[in-house]
Amino acid sequence: MVVRTAVVTGAGRGIGRACALGLLDDGWTVVLVGRRPGPLEETAALAPADRRERAVPMSADITDPEAVNALFEAVARRYGRLDVLFNNAADVMPYVPVEEVSVADWHRVMGSIATGTFLCSQAAFRLMKDQDPRGGRIINNGAPSAQVPRPDSIAFTAAKHAVAGMTRALSLDGRRYDISCGQIDIGNVTPEDRPQPAVRQADGSLRVEPTMDVRHVVDMVRAMAALPRGVNIQSVLVMPSSMPYVGRG
């Protein structure tokens, strides 16, 4: 039996947890990555008993180059290859006017999203390039903000624009090694444990926007992961149809 191995960052909650469980349903062995072991173990425990041995928690700080290299070396030792990386982890911050954004918050958001995506993609690229058979797939979690910003979101918007640039660069540089890279931009997902908050609109008003069930995101990530080598979904936006997006109005 061929083992298909995926790494999912930010797998301890939310979209990462849901997508990791979806990949387990499809027969993947899934390495669950996050800073804290506890939430990763909770994700693994949510898997049905017959799939739990394929849910493998590995805690790591994806902003730390040494930790990332150690993580992917451990994956290579244990499984011999990596087929899919889902770059999902992200720190966020409240919506804040440009003039009030602290340098610490800027670095925290950029580090978790842009630097984390780069470091994990770089380590995965090295592994996918040299494995036999070579190649693999990198899926980046973008956002509508990778294309169209919200008010008062300069750090998050800049970080997600960086992800969009990396998606294109990885897709180009990966061609000769059979490495594909695509991006899923994810609209409002229904929160698990709280009401959907009102958010600032382009006209200055506050509005509670429509949301969608996370299963729609999971279905798309599963579809992207299952594509055969040489086929790619370069970019896809999954969102509630009535969510403000074009012009953010």
Average pLDDT over residues 156-173: 98
Which of 124, 128, 56 has its CA nearest to residue 87?
A: 124
Query: For residue range 132-144, what is the model confidence (pLDDT) as tens digits?
Result: 999 999 999 999 9
CB count within 10 Å of CB 182 equals 20
Band of residue 1 on the pLDDT scale cut at 50, 70, 90: low
Query: For residue range 118-164, what is the model confidence (pLDDT) as tens digits?
Result: 999 999 999 999 999 999 999 999 999 999 999 999 999 999 999 99
- Say how many domains are in the chain: 1
Strand 84-87 and strand 5-9: pairing? parallel
Residue 168 belongs to domain with CATH number = 3.40.50.720
Domain that holds residue 29: 5-248
Distance of CA 107 to the CA centre of its chain: 19
pTM of the model: 0.96
